[in-house]
Structure 1
Amino acid sequence: STIKRKKGALDAARGKIFTKIIKEITIAARLGGGDEAANPRLRSAILKAKASNMPANNVERAIAKGTGTLEGVTYEEITYEGYGPCGVAIVVETMTDNKNRTVSEVRYTFNKYGGSLGADGAVAWNFERQGLLTIAQGTLSEDDVLMTLMDAGAENLELEDGEWLIYSQIANLETLRKAAEA
């Protein structure tokens, strides 16, 4: 019975991860098409799926749902803005199949912790969307990484816990990834 409990807990955790990745693949396929070569967001989601050992047929089904060739639940991305305790600006990005339930849960969470849900644009002006690429440090020196990736569009470079964190504009992220692989 010990094995049964351990396996059940492991399967539940894996199922949660798979569900998140499937949602991401579905939305990426809906927004950018089902071609992995032409859709960097889909390619990134598929790489996450492979890293999590997700079965290939699950990935294919998620892409089919996103492109509309297979019926299923439709997910959409919604961004909420608000203020937390002490007036801290908060942006919440959600992925949901039911807008009404999600806005209710977000509003409840804001209220529970002394915040308030704001109107669109209330706090978004405080934030900037950026792409993040992480690379294992390995044998790369800072000069090598700096020269290669700054030319490819990197804006900021940090070394943290043995990994390079490279920040860039989202539009440059794919170019940056290709330069890092070279």
Structure 2
Amino acid sequence: MGRGPSIEGRKNAEDAKRAKVFTKLIREITVATRAGVADPAGNPRLRAAVDKALSANMTKDTIERAIKRGSGADGGADMQELRYEGYGPAGIALIIDCVTDNPVRTVADVRHALTKHGGNLGTSGSVAFQFSRCGELVFETAGDAEQEEKILEAALEAGADDVVNEAGESSVLCAPESFEAVQQALAAAGLKPARADVVMRPANRVAIPAEAQETLLDLIDWLEELDDVHEIYHNAAVTAGIHP
């Protein structure tokens, strides 16, 4: 009779997943520090990265080491930000933001992932025009009209630009420079988002054929497994298992 995964096996898998998340967070902290100042109080991007790291239960010592590396006080590799644009299965537009110390490796890994899943790497600007940069705070409402109304009122009071209700979620949208203020105002109103960040949001979403959905999911999983990949944005319509 077969047995399921051992407790040790599950723990090792969880540890590996956690380590990968930490790798991405450390790189974001490092780059955010280099892009501004080493003090989170005076560097909004760094403050957001530190908040994410703390939410993921990263120790303060690890966070401080990443900040030191970014400030140049602790050596460290020369991390840089790169953005790749391309197409996935069924012509879905993709923006893939990376943080890397080896661009040659990163572009090869991203190109391989796209090609393997029926997509291709595009040139700079080939799909970016279909997206806009904005602050996005997503709340899980499950179609609760009363909750949706509460979020709408609080968001407009906080200075948000719009609230979009779809697939059981309410997405509060605002200008990138207003993101922190809107986030704080919503928190003061007792509203905690499931996720919140400054993102690249598509102007329109396109339906993806059922037969291509699994391939797209596999592509996104493949890209997320790459240490260098920081964020992935796509314009596929929200379907089961595929996050916006």
User: How far is 1:164 from its partner?
Assistant: 4.6
Q: Tell me how large the CA RMSD over aligned residues is.
A: 2.6
Look up the match of 2:232. Answer: none
Look up the match of 2:220. Answer: none
Q: Aligned AA for 2:53?
A: A
Task: Assess, with a 3 A threshold, how the Cα gap between structure 1 residues 10 and 114 changes in structure 2: closer, same or farther.
Answer: closer
The worse-fitting range, judged by mean Cα deviation, of 109-118 and 70-79 is: 109-118
Conserved? CA contact 2:140–2:170, under 8 Å: yes
Conserved? CA contact 2:148–2:170, under 8 Å: no
Look up the match of 1:95. Answer: 99
Q: 2:178 aligns with which of 172, 176, 181?
A: 172
User: How far is 1:63 from its partner?
Assistant: 0.7
Conserved? CA contact 2:164–2:172, under 8 Å: yes
Conserved? CA contact 1:152–1:172, under 8 Å: no
The worse-fitting range, judged by mean Cα deviation, of 55-64 and 4-13 is: 4-13
Give me the whole-angstrom Cα distance separating, in 1, the residues matched to 2:125 and 2:65.
36
1:109 counterpart = 2:123: no
Look up the match of 1:58. Answer: 62
Q: Aligned AA for 2:47?
A: R
Structure 2 unmatched runs, 5+: 1-5, 189-244
Give me the whole-angstrom Cα distance separating, in 2, the residues matched to 1:30 and 1:135.
31
Task: Assess, with a 3 A threshold, how the Cα gap between structure 1 residues 101 and 179 changes in structure 2: closer, same or farther.
Answer: same
Look up the match of 2:198. Answer: none
Q: 1:147 aligns with which of 140, 147, 153?
A: 153
Structure 2 counterparts to residues 32-71 of structure 1, below 5 A: 32-71=36-75
Give me the whole-angstrom Cα distance separating, in 1, the residues matched to 2:10 and 2:154.
45
Q: What secondary structure sits across from 1:122 in the alignment?
A: coil
Conserved? CA contact 2:138–2:171, under 8 Å: yes
Task: Assess, with a 3 A threshold, how the Cα gap between structure 1 residues 145 and 71 changes in structure 2: closer, same or farther.
Answer: same
1:126 counterpart = 2:144: no
The worse-fitting range, judged by mean Cα deviation, of 144-153 and 76-85 is: 144-153
Q: Which has the higher contact order (CA 8 A, sep 6+)?
A: 2
Deviations 1:5-40 (A, max 9, x none): 444333222211211111111111111221111222
User: How far is 1:46 from its partner?
Assistant: 1.2
The worse-fitting range, judged by mean Cα deviation, of 82-91 and 167-176 is: 82-91
Look up the match of 2:187. Answer: 181
Give me the whole-angstrom Cα distance separating, in 1, the residues matched to 2:154 and 2:89.
42
Look up the match of 1:12. Answer: 16
Larger % of helix: which? 1
Structure 1 unmatched runs, 5+: none
Q: Aligned AA for 2:27?
A: K
Task: Assess, with a 3 A threshold, how the Cα gap between structure 1 residues 14 and 86 changes in structure 2: closer, same or farther.
Answer: closer
Give me the whole-angstrom Cα distance separating, in 1, the residues matched to 2:10 and 2:90.
42
Look up the match of 2:25. Answer: 21
